[in-house]
Amino acid sequence: MHFFSAAAFLLILAHSLHVKAGKCPRVCSCDSTKLTVACVGKNLTEVPPTIDEITLKLDLKNNNLQELSRGAFTHTPYLTHLNLQRCNIIKVKEGAFRTLGRVVSLNLAYNKIDILYQESFDGLSSLKELFLDHNRVEEIQPGAFTQLGFLNMLALTNNQLVYIPNMAFQGLNNIKWLRLSYNSLNNLASEAFAGLFTLNRLSLDHNELQFFPTQTMNRLRELTRLDMSHNPMIYLGEESVSMAKLTHLYLDHMSLQDLSDKALSGAPLLSHLGLSHNQLRYLEPLSGPKELSSLNLTGNPIYCNCYMRPLRQWASVKGVKLQGACAGPPHLSDEPLQAVTPLDLRCRSHQEQLKDEFEKDNESAGSITQPTAKPKKKVECPVNCDCDTEAHHATCEGQGHTKVPRGFPTQTQLLDLRSNHFHYLPANGFPGASQVVSLHLELCKIHEIERGAFRGMKKLFYLYLSDNDLTSLEAGAFAGAPELTYLHLEGNRLAQFPGSALTLLPSLFVLHLERNAISKLEPTGLLSSVTPKLRELYLTNNTITSIAKGALDSAFLGTLHLDSNQLTEMPTLSEASNLEELSLSHNSIRWVGPKAFQPVSQSLKRLYMDQMGIEKMSRDALAGLGPGLRALTLRGNQLEELPDLSPLTGLEVVDLQDNPLLCDCPLLPLRRWMENVTLEVIATCGHPPEVRGQKVRDVQVFKSCPESSSPPVEKVVATRPPKVKVKPQRNLSKATGVKAKPAKPKTKLPKPTKTRPQKKPVAPKVTKNKKML
Ligand SMILES: *[C@@H]1O[C@H](CO)[C@@H](O)[C@H](O)[C@H]1NC(C)=O
Ligand SMILES: *[C@@H]1O[C@H](CO)[C@@H](O)[C@H](O)[C@H]1NC(C)=O
Ligand SMILES: *[C@@H]1O[C@H](CO)[C@@H](O)[C@H](O)[C@H]1NC(C)=O
Ligand SMILES: *[C@@H]1O[C@H](CO)[C@@H](O)[C@H](O)[C@H]1NC(C)=O
Ligand SMILES: *[C@@H]1O[C@H](CO)[C@@H](O)[C@H](O)[C@H]1NC(C)=O
Ligand SMILES: *[C@@H]1O[C@H](CO)[C@@H](O)[C@H](O)[C@H]1NC(C)=O
């Protein structure tokens, strides 16, 4: 069959080349080498009958065809691409395309088609993409698509569909993406998408659906992406979404006022959830999705009080990135959700609220009696400063002040004094600032802070002293500001960990000390006694060479950044039993010994060890770490081998690039592991020379390694000589058969065939047994 049609094709080709001059209709332009014909914008009312039979691509857009009759394309049986956009087509008669068995792409967009008849597309047996967007389709008759067994993409966007009946898309056995956006769909029959076993993407945005069509959607077992944005749903109840493979769900721009915490309980693989521009005021932690990485809440009126705390905590623990910002209360409004911490999310007592209301009333009452022409109260505000009483903000940024100005409104909550020239902060430096929550003193050339400078700042929560000239901090520097929770001291010249200054800060939660000159951490700075609640400590870019045993002991510490220092040994973390994130990148620690992370193995989620010059990691270096570890980076080291990564089944991020890995049998467990994980793992061989630069995944050397999965007896089959600068061989669980006889690294590889294991004796039997079951 194939041969004959090919032969016929060649005959016709020869024939057509011969007569090509006469075969191009006058209104068209023809390219006889590419076999394309374009008759664009000619007001044609029918398909020109003299188009060369051999044509592969026919472009008829912008004409006036109105009706496609049966057999309209019998003269061009070799077409692969047919463009009928904007042809004023109202009706496609049954059998119009019957002779077009080779067409892969058919464009009928921007016409006036209103009904898709049964077998409208009869004959298009190779069709891969069908554009029917921007028509007036309001009815799909049963069987309209039954002949399109190879179709991958169907675009029905911008039509007038209101309802999708049962089995409407029957026959689309290879469909991947179905686009139904911009219709008026308000109802989907429960079997509307039955039979679409290959569909992985469905666009239903910009329709009129008022409820999530749970039953209909449950039929789509392979669906990974679903866009439901711009539908007028107000509520998503329990178990609304039950789709085992769904990873991306877009519910943006709807009218959601509530979303049950169990709404997505049947979507275990969901990684991206779009909820932007809805009416959600808060959200509970979502049960169900275990892999959620991004939750978009942009444009919702999220009220950041204690009701949001569970979500925030859950997001931190699960590594879910929250997008969006708080809409209130005022002191948090516009604060990115990702930046607020569970501690920020508080509910005040009813009494406090009443008091606030009352004070506000008093204040506004006062404003009326104030003798001023403006309706807005003329507030006291220091010269060269700007005070906004409604927002309770005051700013004097970059005004050249040499002394802290006095006389801010007493209700001021945010005081921004950055980029002035204070040099020195005296005791009681901020009188009348008892309501200030956030104080900005960045870039103020401050080199000394007198004891008690912040006295009376009972509400101070955030203090920014970044990028000043502090070389030390004396013991009482922060006395009188007991609520201080976030302290920014990065970009100073502190030569020591300011332990004694911190003793008066029982609430300290986050401490930034990046870019200072701290050279060692001493046990006297014991975190657990000084700052029992410290959760995040940033020491990036200091000059730390040593960390005394016990210096980091803190059962509360969750994040520790020690990157860009001068450590030469792994720090001991014996008591940091809640550490979740540790960065050691950009130090020069050459060796990572056994069980280096054992004390934190139950809590550690993210471990960064890039660009450290690590030459060797003990095989047990990561012992104890398991499914809890989400991120591991070892980029840019000198590693030839890696420790066993297979217990790390929860990894979401892994970076092994830029290591000169020795691609030989000892690396087989890594290679196996790479095949096993769904992550994309990039690792490159550095040795032996013949595979240098190749990806571990691509090299063939592993084929000749003995199977580690076969029974132990089989494994003793001799293999190649070791190419390793062999480390003393322990009893490896994966028998690689490497004998501890060092060979020169440069020896040539034996031919893989020699070492291929001879047989897998039991395998066939097993298969049979399985079949019998
Ligand atoms: C296109 O053809 C139709 C009828 O064949 C005619 O009525 C109409 O005026 C033509 N339009 C243009 C722009 O030539
Ligand atoms: C979150 O939603 C907003 C508004 O819809 C959008 O602009 C933004 O790109 C979204 N973010 C992500 C990461 O998708
Ligand atoms: C209300 O304002 C007046 C005048 O400023 C003041 O005397 C009074 O104590 C205020 N009341 C409260 C409850 O703050
Ligand atoms: C460390 O700090 C110095 C001085 O502030 C800066 O020049 C350098 O870029 C920083 N290095 C890193 C890795 O942040
Ligand atoms: C591959 O995955 C399976 C199933 O999760 C597991 O049993 C096996 O140990 C894994 N193999 C490796 C080399 O990680
Ligand atoms: C190796 O295994 C043998 C037998 O299982 C055991 O006696 C020996 O102690 C092991 N050696 C090491 C270094 O673990």
CA 563 / ligand 4 centre spacing (Å): 11
In DSSP terms, 36 is beta-bridged to 31, 57
Atom number of ligand 5 nearest to Cα 672: 13
In DSSP terms, 439 is beta-bridged to 415, 463
Ligand 2 pocket, residue 298 CB under 6 Å = yes
Ligand 3 pocket, residue 359 CB under 6 Å = yes
Neighbours of 233 (CB within 10 A): 18
- Identify the residue whose C-alpha is closest to ligand 5 atom 14: 673
pLDDT of residue 5: 52
Ligand 2 pocket, residue 278 CB under 6 Å = no
pLDDT of residue 524: 65
- Which residues' Cβ are closer than 6 Å to ligand 1? 43, 45, 64
Ligand 4 pocket, residue 542 CB under 6 Å = no
pLDDT of residue 543: 97
CA 586 / ligand 4 centre spacing (Å): 12
Ligand nearest to the CA of 65: 1
Cβ–Cβ under 8 Å, residues 563 and 585: yes
Element (DSSP H or E) covering residue 591: strand 591-592
- Identify the residue whose C-alpha is closest to ligand 3 atom 9: 362
Q: For domain 256-348, which CATH number applies: 3.80.10.10, 3.30.310.50, 3.90.1150.180, 2.40.37.10?
A: 3.80.10.10
Ligand 3 pocket, residue 386 CB under 6 Å = no
Cβ–Cβ under 8 Å, residues 108 and 89: yes
Strand 581-583 and strand 546-547: the pairing is unpaired
- Identify the residue whose C-alpha is closest to ligand 6 atom 8: 731
Atom number of ligand 6 nearest to Cα 730: 13
Cβ–Cβ under 8 Å, residues 573 and 548: no
- Identify the residue whose C-alpha is closest to ligand 5 atom 4: 676
> What is the residue-wise DSSP string for 527-565?
HHHH-TT--EEE--SS---EE-TTTT--SS--EEE--SS
Ligand 4 pocket, residue 466 CB under 6 Å = no
Ligand 4 pocket, residue 564 CB under 6 Å = yes
Ligand 4 pocket, residue 541 CB under 6 Å = yes
CA 489 / ligand 4 centre spacing (Å): 15
Amino acid letter, 457: M
Atom number of ligand 6 nearest to Cα 731: 1
Residue of 27, 64, 67 to mutate, ligand 1, most atoms within 8 A of C-beta? 64
Element (DSSP H or E) covering residue 161: none
Ligand nearest to the CA of 252: 2
Ligand 4 pocket, residue 561 CB under 6 Å = no
CA 722 / ligand 6 centre spacing (Å): 21
Q: Quote the CA–CA distance of 19 and 25 in Å, as a whole number.
A: 13
Atom number of ligand 2 nearest to Cα 296: 1
Ligand 5 pocket, residue 430 CB under 6 Å = no
Q: Which residue stretches of the chain have pLDDT < 50?
A: 1, 3-4, 7, 10-22, 350, 357, 360-377, 709-773
Residue of 646, 649, 733 to mutate, ligand 5, most atoms within 8 A of C-beta? 646
- Identify the residue whose C-alpha is closest to ligand 4 atom 14: 541
CA 491 / ligand 4 centre spacing (Å): 9
Residue of 514, 541, 542 to mutate, ligand 4, most atoms within 8 A of C-beta? 541
Ligand 3 pocket, residue 361 CB under 6 Å = no
- Identify the residue whose C-alpha is closest to ligand 6 atom 1: 731
Q: Quote the CA–CA distance of 200 and 269 in Å, as a whole number.
A: 14
